[in-house]
Amino acid sequence: MKIAIIGGTGDQGLGLALRFVKAGEDVIVGSRDIKKAETAVDLMKDILGSEDLPNLTAMTNQDAASNGDIIILTVPLQAQMVTLKSIKDNLKGEIFVDATSPLEGCLGGKPTRYVDLWEGSAAERSAEFLGDNAVVVSAFCNISASSLTTVDEDVECDCLVSGDDHEANLIVMELAEKISGVKSIECGALENARIVEKLTPLLINLNIRNKVKNAGIRISNI
Amino acid sequence: MKIAIIGGTGDQGLGLALRFVKAGEDVIVGSRDIKKAETAVDLMKDILGSEDLPNLTAMTNQDAASNGDIIILTVPLQAQMVTLKSIKDNLKGEIFVDATSPLEGCLGGKPTRYVDLWEGSAAERSAEFLGDNAVVVSAFCNISASSLTTVDEDVECDCLVSGDDHEANLIVMELAEKISGVKSIECGALENARIVEKLTPLLINLNIRNKVKNAGIRISNI
């Protein structure tokens, strides 16, 4: 299964790519600019201490979307729509994981506040725009980039997964648990991303208040 | 310090009262109807296996508000405003803890969905209405009634505390940690209740999906 990370050169995308490569998955790092994708791949090889990583490839976002079996979107909110428009025609009904957080900081405000989107959540925005071209699942938005890029430590955060297609949710949940320390929690239909995405600004708030970078959430008693 | 629980005969209020009485605090159980408050006190004595609990008293909501040093509101959303109106004149600037969850279920919808309130959150609604009569703090809304009433077991849930008065937050945080198993997390200004309150329908959703009654949230790495 090839995992294509759209916007894979940002911290969140880079972190997810590192974790999946480390778990032996085939990963395509996508970027608007192929050179940026190649630079990110070089950086990841440095971090992982290996020049020989045949399961890690750099591509443009369009080629990544065309070649991935599962697509993960990790761009900031202000880049979400323009990125979706640039890759929609490359998608053919694959699982499309939206990890966008609707942070006010993306609109010049505070990263500790959310903004309300017309569709209810960033993931529902992707689903509405992509239509039949993708099966959208919301996941990964609460897991801090800092946790992900600290590849030798467990990620102390559950992955809350929401989506209208249960089988797709299960595939994403299994993928998430390839990240050491992560437990996947299915939250039901995609509309639940309205709550899950809003947790991200709270965790950023707790990071700032406590001078840490990797506050996470765990669900207890289930 | 006398803790007055307004709407103390519902599951959440009863559970908090049980835990605070067990911790040796003075607790006033308030209800619109003094007989209901007395019945709740009798039930609590049964649950705690003791007839002799001088630190547990039944009162009307108005008398509870007048006599409490710290007031906790535990009513469903549809009863919030009418209850606030009934006790506003009994308050003289005390710490007022709002534990209301803005569940769609309170308006005939699903308990797994939130409703947006004009003020941003139920706690901000209390603050706007009570004005100088109270120092409002948001807390306890995520802790399940089932966890609280199972008094022999630790509550596996953090208490996320938001409020504009840091000293008041600290008092509420200390109080919350009298509940065995609870860790208090300060989330900053009262506006953060907008996120924290929305977690409750997600936890109810996870309870339903997993056939449990006490799903909770823990913040990791801080």
3-state helix, strand, coil in chain A (%, to 5): 45, 20, 35
Neighbour tally for A199: CB within 10 Å = 22
In chain A, the residue whose alpha carbon lies closest to the alpha carbon of B206 is A187
Strands (E) in chain B, as ranges, are 2-6, 26-31, 56-60, 70-73, 94-98, 134-138, 159-163, 184-188, 216-220
Residues of A whose CB is below 8 A from B121 = none
Contacting A residues, span 106-145, partner chain B, CB-CB under 8 Å = 112-114, 116
* Paired sense of beta strands B94-98 and B26-31, if any: unpaired
Longest dimension (CA), chain B: 46
Candidates A153, A185, A194, A221: best to mutate against B (most CBs of B within 10 A) is A221
Which residues contact residue B95 at a Cβ distance below 8 angstroms, ignoring those fewer than 6 apart?
Answer: B69, B70, B71, B134, B135, B137, B168, B171, B172
Q: What angle is formed at CA B162 by the lines to CA A214 and CA B134, rounded to 5 degrees?
A: 170
CA A167 to chain centre: 19
For residue A6, give the nearest of A86, A117, A107, A92 by alpha carbon: A86
pLDDT band at residue A72 under the 50/70/90 scheme: very high
Question: How confident is residue A30, by pLDDT bands cut at 50, 70 and 90?
Answer: very high
Smallest CA–CA separation between B210 and chain A, in Å? 7
Distance of CA A58 to the CA centre of its chain: 17
> Residues 197-216, chain A: which have Cβ within 8 Å of B?
198-199, 201-203, 205-207, 209-210, 212, 214-216
Give the mean model confidence (pLDDT) for residues A69-91: 98
Mean pLDDT over each residue of chain A, to the nearest integer: 97
- Reported as half-sphere exposure (CB side, CA atoms, 13 A), residue A171 has a value of 20
Q: Quick check: A209 pLDDT over 90?
A: yes
Does pLDDT of A83 surpass 90?
yes
User: At A8, is the pLDDT very low, low, confident or very high (cuts 50, 70, 90)?
Assistant: confident
Label residue A199 by pLDDT band (50, 70, 90).
very high
Identity at A189, one-letter amino acid code: A
Contact between chains at B218 and A217 (C-beta distance less than 8 A)? yes
- The answer to whether the CB atoms of B220 and A220 lie below 8 A apart is no
- The hierarchical CATH code for the domain B2-210 is 3.40.50.720
Q: Give every residue of chain B whose pLDDT is below 70, as ranges.
A: none
Q: Give the per-residue pLDDT at B84.
A: 98
What residue in B sits closest to A181 (Cα-Cα)? B220
- Give the up-direction half-sphere exposure of residue A120: CA atoms within 13 A in the CB hemisphere: 16
pLDDT tens across A87-126, in order? 999 999 999 999 999 999 999 999 999 999 999 999 999 9
Token pair 């039901």: residue = A188
Nearest to A198 among B147, B187, B198 (CB): B198
Domain boundaries, chain A: 2-210
- A205: pLDDT strictly greater than 90: yes
Confidence bin at A142 (pLDDT 50/70/90): very high
Mean pLDDT of all residues in A148-155 = 97
Across the interface, of B201, B202, B220, the residue whose CB is closest to A156 is B220
Question: Is B60 an interface residue toward A (CB < 8 Å)?
Answer: no
pLDDT computed for residue B134 by the predictor = 98
Q: Is B93 on the interface with A (CB under 8 A)?
A: no
Q: What residue in B sits closest to A191 (Cα-Cα)?
A: B113
Q: What is the pLDDT of residue B8?
A: 82
Give the residue carrying structure tokens 């609460």.
A142
Q: Is the pTM of this model over 0.95?
A: yes
A&B contacts, CB < 8 Å:
97
CB contact under 8 A, A188 and B221: no
B8 compared with A145, residue with greater pLDDT: A145
